[in-house]
Amino acid sequence: MLPLLRTLIGIAVGGFVALLPHGGRKTGRRSFVRNATLGSVGIVSALTGGGFVALLWPNKTGDFGRDLTVSAAEVPTVGAAPLRWAPGKFYLIRNPDGVLAVYWKCVHLGCTVPFIDADGQFRCPCHGSVYDANGAYVSGPAPRSLDTMPVEVDDEGNVTVATGTIQTRGGYSPEQAVAYNF
Protein backbone atom coordinates (compact mmCIF):
# COMPACT_ATOMS: atom_id res chain seq x y z
CA MET A 1 0.00 0.00 0.00
CA LEU A 2 2.75 2.46 0.99
CA PRO A 3 4.84 1.92 -2.19
CA LEU A 4 1.74 2.53 -4.32
CA LEU A 5 1.00 5.69 -2.36
CA ARG A 6 4.58 6.86 -2.78
CA THR A 7 4.42 6.27 -6.50
CA LEU A 8 1.13 8.11 -6.86
CA ILE A 9 2.48 11.06 -4.86
CA GLY A 10 5.60 11.01 -7.01
CA ILE A 11 3.54 11.05 -10.17
CA ALA A 12 1.40 13.87 -8.83
CA VAL A 13 4.42 15.96 -7.80
CA GLY A 14 6.26 15.19 -11.01
CA GLY A 15 3.15 15.97 -13.00
CA PHE A 16 2.73 19.25 -11.24
CA VAL A 17 6.33 20.20 -11.95
CA ALA A 18 5.96 19.04 -15.52
CA LEU A 19 2.92 21.25 -16.02
CA LEU A 20 4.70 24.38 -14.82
CA PRO A 21 5.47 26.75 -17.69
CA HIS A 22 8.94 26.23 -19.16
CA GLY A 23 9.78 29.59 -20.61
CA GLY A 24 6.48 29.76 -22.41
CA ARG A 25 6.91 26.33 -24.00
CA LYS A 26 4.11 23.83 -23.71
CA THR A 27 4.78 20.73 -21.61
CA GLY A 28 5.03 17.62 -23.71
CA ARG A 29 4.06 14.07 -22.79
CA ARG A 30 7.70 13.00 -22.70
CA SER A 31 8.54 15.78 -20.30
CA PHE A 32 5.59 14.90 -18.09
CA VAL A 33 6.57 11.23 -17.88
CA ARG A 34 10.21 12.09 -17.18
CA ASN A 35 9.36 14.50 -14.38
CA ALA A 36 6.80 12.14 -12.90
CA THR A 37 9.40 9.36 -12.88
CA LEU A 38 12.00 11.63 -11.31
CA GLY A 39 9.43 12.72 -8.73
CA SER A 40 8.69 9.09 -7.80
CA VAL A 41 12.35 8.20 -7.60
CA GLY A 42 13.08 11.32 -5.56
CA ILE A 43 10.36 10.60 -3.03
CA VAL A 44 11.29 6.93 -2.70
CA SER A 45 14.95 7.91 -2.22
CA ALA A 46 14.06 10.53 0.37
CA LEU A 47 11.86 8.12 2.33
CA THR A 48 14.46 5.35 2.14
CA GLY A 49 17.20 7.73 3.25
CA GLY A 50 15.04 9.08 6.06
CA GLY A 51 14.28 5.56 7.25
CA PHE A 52 17.98 4.70 7.21
CA VAL A 53 18.88 7.77 9.25
CA ALA A 54 16.07 6.97 11.71
CA LEU A 55 17.45 3.46 12.03
CA LEU A 56 20.92 4.73 12.91
CA TRP A 57 19.71 7.51 15.20
CA PRO A 58 20.39 6.80 18.88
CA ASN A 59 17.23 5.33 20.30
CA LYS A 60 17.12 6.87 23.75
CA THR A 61 13.96 5.55 25.26
CA GLY A 62 12.91 4.80 28.78
CA ASP A 63 13.97 6.41 32.01
CA PHE A 64 17.67 5.65 31.99
CA GLY A 65 19.59 8.93 31.69
CA ARG A 66 17.05 10.92 33.69
CA ASP A 67 16.91 11.84 37.38
CA LEU A 68 14.91 9.05 39.02
CA THR A 69 13.46 9.10 42.51
CA VAL A 70 13.24 6.17 44.88
CA SER A 71 10.65 6.84 47.56
CA ALA A 72 11.71 6.68 51.19
CA ALA A 73 9.54 3.60 51.69
CA GLU A 74 11.62 1.69 49.15
CA VAL A 75 15.07 2.60 50.46
CA PRO A 76 16.63 -0.53 51.97
CA THR A 77 17.57 -0.69 55.61
CA VAL A 78 21.21 -0.83 56.67
CA GLY A 79 22.57 -4.27 55.98
CA ALA A 80 19.71 -5.30 53.71
CA ALA A 81 20.30 -6.34 50.11
CA PRO A 82 20.60 -3.39 47.73
CA LEU A 83 17.50 -2.25 45.91
CA ARG A 84 17.62 -3.20 42.22
CA TRP A 85 16.09 -0.30 40.27
CA ALA A 86 15.67 -1.53 36.71
CA PRO A 87 14.51 1.70 35.00
CA GLY A 88 17.70 3.44 36.12
CA LYS A 89 19.99 0.40 35.81
CA PHE A 90 21.35 0.91 39.31
CA TYR A 91 21.41 -0.63 42.73
CA LEU A 92 20.64 1.59 45.67
CA ILE A 93 22.91 0.53 48.49
CA ARG A 94 22.37 1.50 52.11
CA ASN A 95 25.25 1.14 54.52
CA PRO A 96 26.18 2.81 57.83
CA ASP A 97 27.62 5.78 55.88
CA GLY A 98 24.38 6.48 54.00
CA VAL A 99 23.11 5.64 50.53
CA LEU A 100 24.90 5.29 47.22
CA ALA A 101 23.75 4.32 43.76
CA VAL A 102 25.87 1.85 41.80
CA TYR A 103 25.56 1.40 38.05
CA TRP A 104 24.87 -2.27 37.38
CA LYS A 105 27.03 -2.46 34.25
CA CYS A 106 30.20 -4.48 34.77
CA VAL A 107 33.26 -2.30 34.19
CA HIS A 108 35.01 -5.19 32.45
CA LEU A 109 32.94 -5.75 29.31
CA GLY A 110 29.56 -4.40 30.26
CA CYS A 111 27.48 -7.35 31.43
CA THR A 112 24.72 -6.67 33.92
CA VAL A 113 25.96 -7.65 37.35
CA PRO A 114 23.54 -9.29 39.78
CA PHE A 115 23.75 -9.04 43.54
CA ILE A 116 24.05 -12.45 45.12
CA ASP A 117 22.18 -12.49 48.41
CA ALA A 118 23.84 -15.70 49.58
CA ASP A 119 27.32 -14.18 49.78
CA GLY A 120 26.45 -10.48 49.95
CA GLN A 121 28.46 -9.61 46.84
CA PHE A 122 27.98 -8.65 43.24
CA ARG A 123 29.18 -11.37 40.89
CA CYS A 124 29.44 -10.86 37.16
CA PRO A 125 28.15 -13.94 35.30
CA CYS A 126 30.29 -13.26 32.22
CA HIS A 127 33.91 -13.52 33.37
CA GLY A 128 33.61 -13.83 37.13
CA SER A 129 34.46 -10.37 38.43
CA VAL A 130 33.41 -9.96 42.04
CA TYR A 131 32.49 -6.72 43.81
CA ASP A 132 31.68 -6.33 47.49
CA ALA A 133 28.39 -5.08 48.96
CA ASN A 134 29.38 -1.48 48.15
CA GLY A 135 30.24 -2.40 44.57
CA ALA A 136 33.97 -2.12 45.26
CA TYR A 137 36.30 -4.36 43.28
CA VAL A 138 37.26 -7.65 44.92
CA SER A 139 38.58 -9.94 42.18
CA GLY A 140 38.41 -10.90 38.53
CA PRO A 141 39.27 -9.14 35.26
CA ALA A 142 37.37 -5.92 36.02
CA PRO A 143 39.79 -2.98 36.18
CA ARG A 144 38.04 -1.10 38.99
CA SER A 145 34.96 -0.92 41.19
CA LEU A 146 31.46 -0.59 39.79
CA ASP A 147 30.69 2.97 38.75
CA THR A 148 28.37 5.20 40.77
CA MET A 149 25.71 7.80 40.06
CA PRO A 150 25.17 11.04 42.02
CA VAL A 151 22.52 10.83 44.72
CA GLU A 152 20.43 13.46 46.49
CA VAL A 153 18.24 12.93 49.54
CA ASP A 154 15.27 15.22 50.21
CA ASP A 155 13.74 16.20 53.55
CA GLU A 156 11.41 13.21 53.53
CA GLY A 157 14.02 10.60 52.76
CA ASN A 158 13.29 10.20 49.08
CA VAL A 159 16.41 9.51 47.08
CA THR A 160 16.96 10.98 43.62
CA VAL A 161 19.58 9.33 41.43
CA ALA A 162 21.07 11.13 38.43
CA THR A 163 21.32 8.18 36.05
CA GLY A 164 22.72 10.37 33.28
CA THR A 165 25.97 10.94 35.19
CA ILE A 166 28.24 7.93 35.53
CA GLN A 167 31.18 8.34 37.91
CA THR A 168 34.22 6.13 38.03
CA ARG A 169 36.05 5.42 41.26
CA GLY A 170 38.85 3.32 42.69
CA GLY A 171 37.62 1.51 45.78
CA TYR A 172 34.91 2.43 48.24
CA SER A 173 35.27 5.39 50.56
CA PRO A 174 32.61 6.72 52.98
CA GLU A 175 32.26 10.05 51.17
CA GLN A 176 30.77 8.18 48.22
CA ALA A 177 27.66 7.67 50.31
CA VAL A 178 25.15 10.41 51.09
CA ALA A 179 24.08 10.54 54.74
CA TYR A 180 20.68 8.99 55.26
CA ASN A 181 19.10 9.52 58.67
CA PHE A 182 15.58 8.25 58.21
| Side-chain half-sphere exposure of 136, counting CA atoms within 13 A | 9
Q: Which is nearer to ligand FES, 22 or 127 (CB)?
A: 127
Burial of 58 (0-12, 13-18, 19+ CB in 10 A): exposed
Q: Among residues 36, 93, 99, 124, which is the contact residue for ligand FES, using CB under 6 A?
A: 124
Please say whether the beta carbons of 106 and 113 come within 8 A: yes
Q: Which is nearer to ligand FES, 3 or 171 (CB)?
A: 171
Enumerate helices (H) and strands (E) in the chain, giving the number of each: 2, 11
Number of alpha carbons in the 13 Å side-chain half-sphere of residue 137: 15
Q: Which residue type sits at 80?
A: A
Q: Considering the rule CB under 6 A, would residue 141 count as an interface residue with ligand FES?
A: yes
Of 44-52, 90-98, 138-146, 156-164, the window that binds ligand FES (rule: CB under 6 A) is 138-146
Nearest distance from residue 109's CB to ligand FES, in Å? Answer: 4
Question: Given the complex with ligand FES, which of 110 and 120 has the nearer CB atom?
Answer: 110
Give the shortest CB-152-to-ligand FES separation in angstroms.
29
Tell which positions 99-118 bind ligand FES, by CB under 6 A: 106, 108-111
CB-CB contact of 36 with 19 (8 Å): no
Residues that bind ligand FES (CB under 6 A): 106, 108-111, 124, 126-129, 140-142
